[in-house]
A and B are shown apart, each in its own frame.
Chain A
Amino acid sequence: MRRVQLGFAIFAMFSTIAIGNPTVQDPTKPLATHNTVPGAAELAKAVYEASMAAEKYVVDCEQAVAKKGGVAIQAKMLAKWKATVNQGIREAERLQIMGEPAAVDILLRNHDLTVRLNYLYVAHNTTPAGQVVGRKALMQFQRQAAAKQKECEKVSAMAALQPEVAEAAADKLSMELDTLVHFVGLQERGPYLPPYYAARAAADAVMTKKRIATARQKFQEAIQANLPDPVALTSWANAAASQLKSTGKATVEGQGDVAGPQVLEELIRRWGVGHGGLQRVQGLRWALRWHSTGSNGYEDSGSVNGDDPTYSEAIAWTDTVLAAMAGLIGADAESIQPAKVAVHHQQYLKQTASMARMGDARKVQTKGNEALAVLLAKNSVYETNVKTYDAATKDLITFQTRWLKDAVSNIPQDFPNADGVVRDRSRAIGGMAGLYAEDPNAPMQATLFHPAHKTMMAIAPKLVGPKVGTSDVLRISPTSKTSAVKFMGRTYATVLAVTIPEPDLQSIKLNLLVDESHPPLSISTAKAIDSVLLGHYSAIGGTIVSAQIEAMITRFVTMSDGMAIVVPRGTVTGSSTDHSMLNQMAVRIDIDPSWVQHDLGIYRIPGK
């Protein structure tokens, strides 16, 4: 997967069109590709470039026609772009088989261009010059009929053994046909078409099957490469645990023999890689599903209706990790020297606190506390300290948590839920392009109904500016300048990380009886300190400053392990299982924060 992304980045550098996704700043950027099937990115780029050029021609031509009428149209150019657009449609259909959502966008673009070109043909064909062109085109059909018949038959014959060559030849024939056929009336052109259609059908029949087989194979390979293996993880953790039990150290690849907390760190790393993998698998399965939905006319490749398999795999993966965590800490406790209990306990607390932040906090905290109790029992003086600390801080946290609950229930008035705001502002209302159906009762799924760039141009002015609130903000990494907000429906967000001023930090530390040499001694306080220091917030409110639309499939298939924090560990983003995800979109918003809510309070950013 990494190599694919690197390849894509290099490719994007040399591209003449800006690959990315449509943004508020540049709505014309085409949809990104995930390139799971090699060649898809290049194909998408070429087709996007062609359809953008075709659109430019159409716009210019429409303006000229508006001024001068049909005489402004040059037949040769019209035919050239018509052929380009139709070739674009064929290539987009190939991209669709490759599971690329960009295909949907290209199809929508080219269908739009088809309609507009048809108007231009009508304008042209009704002029005297146009009628001359029509007569000449018909004569050409008649003249070359026998030769073309032979050529078409040759393509049909090649299809079985040399399908790629046949397809290229069929494409050439189709484009030749397109340059002539639209100047000729429907009835007059009729007799000349069957050989072309036969060649087209023969080449497509073989190539479509071949493309489907290749795509499925590539998708299955990618799924296998990304799907975490709970059995392997358990046996790795068991081996490490038995080493810890006997020697207090375990071998970690690339690190040599390390102590318990370093082994847990490795487990946390593996947890993250597996979680990232599961998100990519979810995207890959969505892409594969397109092959199994009836509407596209291809045979069923195994329906995924009903339970979402990735969902149960995600639960199993996190459960396995938590069991391994308990096993490692328990094993360390067996061999540990009493003098080392405090150091290990404090490291484990920091780690379990960060685990609780990323996933099912309750489960992590319960499992973590159970395991840590065994470790604590090895040093009764320290254990007393920890119990005293817990008693001395837990009421404070209870009151703060209740206060925050009140605070959060008051927020929605000023900072309504971001997903709701994005939905309301990106509806397709009154014929305007949009991502959500006008009917508020329609399924809450952002869908590409119109070309992505037109959709973005229509919704961008509405998306920027409103105040929104959202929950669960995690810093992407301790050094990262941005935090990410988990998926809510089809919306997710990034936020510039906020630094809480030193005096506030000091009073929080004072409350939690923490200073440089005295770290927190419970998971919940360690989590609270992390929340403040690292910028993991339970909620934020702010203004939408930018937005981008992305395809769900591409977003998930190309999800980096770091970015996968937008989905809580132990889960995957769900989807309706009854239709293709190829046209399903996500909206990423960038929020300029006005306030952030950490575990112990709300920090209002001055001037916001």
Chain B
Amino acid sequence: MNPFSFFCVGRIALSQSGLANTVILNTLLLFCSLLPCGFTACSKEKMDEMVSSVKQQAQTVAEQAKAIAASPALAEIVPATGRSEVQMPTPLSTNAAYFRLYSFEDGRPGVVQFTSYDPEKGPNAYPALLVRANTVATSVSAVAGQTLMGRVFLQAASGSPVLMTPEGALVDVDIAPLNPEIKTINASIGSVTLYDAKGQASTASGIIVEGVQP
């Protein structure tokens, strides 16, 4: 068994329980502890011993990560469920965000959508944020690192006014390059003016969405 597989187990456990800086540190330590054996020949016994020790450590790390993720401050930073943040006078954020790329067989342009809500359930969890941009790309890797032109829709709470960028006034949606270390696809938008149905403008100085892929 390749000892690198333990590293992977550790990564998965970590990403599932929430990545926090301390957890990453622990992972690195675990990784380092495995290294010598990874590059040298080990006896079967030695190997089994290390495996069980690593398993234990991994479990401890997972538990730690869970505990850390449960603390609200850290959960807001990087929950593995993605997150979204709208910087406004009254900032809005969610501990979940989703990324979807819809592409078509018939040559129709596709669309990327970053949402703060589960796209299967629609914008019924609040605050509800939708960042939507057309694209000709048909794969996530082709979208990553690009700046697309899109629209923003935001509703802070059920029954509160819907804010949106006007039809035809597209904003830059910067999609971060793919990072194999994280499961989310991240997008950011700079300062953007949103309008409610009365024509009243609200400015968001920035929008960040870290969307989980299906």
Contacts and interface: CB of A to CB of B under 8 A. Distances in A.
Interface stretch (B5-13, B77-85, B98-106, B182-190): B98-106
Contacts of A359: none
B107 interface: yes
Contact of B162 (A389, A399, A515): A399
Interface in B143-179: 151, 153, 155, 161-162, 164, 167-168
Contacts of A396: 130, 132, 153
A79 to B, nearest CB: 69
A342 B155 CA distance: 36
A429 to B, nearest CB: 35
A507 B167 contact: yes
Which of A384, A392, A400, A407 gathers most chain B CB within 10 Å? A392
B197 A398 contact: no
Interface string A388-405: 110110111011101111
B46 interface: no
B76 interface: no
Given A391-B100, A395-B115, A395-B130, A406 B106 contact: no
A511 B167 contact: yes
B122 A398 contact: yes
B117 to A, nearest CB: 9
B134 A395 contact: no
Contacts of B198: 406-407, 410
A18 interface: no
A403 B162 contact: yes
Given A406-B197, A513-B108, A513-B109, A399 B119 contact: no
A600 B153 CA distance: 13
A391 B102 contact: yes
A196 to B, nearest CB: 72
Contact of A406 (B130, B132, B162): B162
A243 B13 CA distance: 61
Contacts, number: 87
Which of B132, B151, B197 gathers most chain A CB within 10 Å? B197
A508 interface: yes
Contacts of A403: 153, 161-162, 164, 196-197
B196 A406 contact: yes
Contacts of A517: 107
A327 to B, nearest CB: 29
Contact of B123 (A398, A409, A507, A518): A398
Contact of B113 (A395, A503, A515, A601): A395
Nearest to B132: A396
A410 B164 CA distance: 16
A385 interface: yes
Contacts of A389: 102, 104, 108
Nearest to B108: A518
Nearest to A603: B167
Nearest to B112: A392
A381 interface: yes
A510 interface: yes
Contacts of A511: 151, 167
Nearest to B155: A402
A398 B125 CA distance: 13
B192 interface: no
A391 B167 CA distance: 20
A229 interface: no
B137 interface: no
Contact of A399 (B106, B155, B168): B155
A504 interface: yes
B197 A410 contact: yes
B111 interface: yes
A394 B130 CA distance: 12
Interface residues of B, number: 30
A209 B106 CA distance: 71
Contacts of B132: 395-396
Interface string B113-134: 1010001001100000010101
Contacts of A508: 167
B24 to A, nearest CB: 34
A504 B106 contact: no
A513 B134 contact: yes
A403 to B, nearest CB: 4
Contacts of A342: 106
Given A507-B168, A511-B151, A388 B103 contact: yes
Interface in A484-508: 503-504, 507-508
A527 to B, nearest CB: 17
Contacts of B111: 392, 513
A515 B197 CA distance: 28
Nearest to B164: A403
Interface in A365-401: 381-382, 384-385, 388-389, 391-392, 394-396, 398-400
Nearest to B103: A388
A380 to B, nearest CB: 11
Contacts of B151: 511
A600 B105 contact: no
A286 B107 CA distance: 56
A213 B198 CA distance: 60
Given A392-B111, A395-B119, A511-B151, A402 B168 contact: no
B105 A384 contact: yes
A514 B134 CA distance: 11
Given A392-B111, A396-B132, A404 B197 contact: yes
A194 to B, nearest CB: 75
A347 to B, nearest CB: 16
Nearest to A409: B197
Contacts of A507: 167-168
Interface in B87-106: 100, 102-106
A404 B195 CA distance: 12
Contact of B130 (A399, A409, A515, A601): A399
Contacts of A395: 113, 115, 119, 122-123, 130, 132, 153
A331 to B, nearest CB: 26
B119 A385 contact: no
B96 to A, nearest CB: 15
Interface string A577-608: 00000000000000000000000110000000
A603 B68 CA distance: 51
Contact of B168 (A381, A384, A385, A503): A503
Chain A to chain B: the 8 pairs with minimum beta-carbon distance, closest first:
A406-B197, A407-B197, A392-B102, A507-B168, A399-B153, A403-B162, A518-B108, A402-B162
Given A403-B164, A507-B167, 8 more contacts: A382-B105, A385-B104, A385-B105, A398-B123, A403-B161, A410-B197, A510-B109, A513-B110
23 contacts: A385-B104, A385-B105, A385-B106, A389-B104, A392-B102, A394-B122, A395-B123, A395-B132, A396-B153, A400-B164, A403-B153, A403-B161, A406-B197, A407-B197, A504-B168, A507-B167, A510-B109, A510-B134, A511-B151, A513-B104, A513-B110, A515-B108, A518-B108
